Amino acid sequence: MTSPKELKRELRREALARRDALDPAWRIEASLDMAATGRGRIAAGPGAVVSGFWPMRSEVDVRPLMFALREDGARLCLPAILDKTTIVFRDLVRGANLVDMGFGTLGPGESAETLDPQIMLVPLAAFDARGHRIGYGAGYYDRAIARLTEAGRPPRLVGIAFDCQEVQRVPDEPHDVVLDEILTEGGLRRFAAPL
């Protein structure tokens, strides 16, 4: 019998292959459309701390959405990898020097202030109609979200993906974090709270 971990690995591989096959010019246009939709629907508000991510490979380019939210008064941060198990979120200010964070992504250096995001724009490999997600396999976001929740500061979680990354069902595991919402080129979908 296939284990949940093995099934997730296969679903991840298939969803990423579909995403990689999207036309690069189409991905840019879809990312811009998603920024317009997200700006109107996410409503971060002045002073809200929003974590985004610097896109890697064929991910949605969430930067237009991040910068639109900043224009509305949000404070932005990006993940910074500290070690093999931990990420923190560092303040992203205009003109900041970005450094290589590994995995083909960038983030603010050690001198940037560490923030606790109230809204997290969450990268992912695959998702299902219940709001369950498959990340890239390292568990960084699951642990960061658990840490914030345990500290009494659970963030609003907005997954960011293309529609082609949806799968029929993500296998449930105890450590998995369920998304509140997901933004794709099809719009913003909200998920019911788990029972």
Question: Is position 195 within any domain?
Answer: no
pLDDT band at 96 (very low <50, low <70, confident <90, very high): confident
Q: Is residue 142 part of a domain?
A: yes
Q: What is the CATH number of the domain that holds 111?
A: 3.40.50.10420
Q: What pLDDT is attached to residue 160?
A: 98
pLDDT tens track for 143-161: 999 999 999 999 999 999 9
- pLDDT confidence of residue 130: 94
Radius of gyration of the chain (CA): 16
Q: Is residue 13 part of a domain?
A: yes
Q: In this structure, is residue 109 part of a structural domain? A: yes
Cα–Cα–Cα angle for 14, 15, 18, nearest 5°? 90
Q: Is residue 154 part of a domain?
A: yes
Helix (H, G, I), strand (E, B) or coil at 181: strand
pLDDT tens, position by position, 4-29: 889 999 999 999 999 999 999 999 99
**Residue 136 and residue 12 in contact, taking contact as beta carbons nearer than 8 Å:** yes
pLDDT tens sequence across 41-92: 998 889 999 999 999 899 999 999 999 999 999 999 999 988 888 899 999 9
Average pLDDT value over all residues in the chain: 92
Reply yes or no on whether the pLDDT at 1 is more than 90. no
- How confident is the model at residue 155, as a pLDDT? 96
Q: Is 7 exposed, middle or buried (0-12, 13-18, 19+ CB in 10 A)?
A: middle
Instruction: Note down the domain range covering 157.
Output: 4-190
Token look-up 């380019």 returns: 61
Number of domain units in the chain = 1
In a domain, 147, yes or no: yes
Strand 75-81 with 49-51, pairing: parallel
In-domain check, residue 169: yes
Q: Which residue has the tokens 């997954």?
A: 159
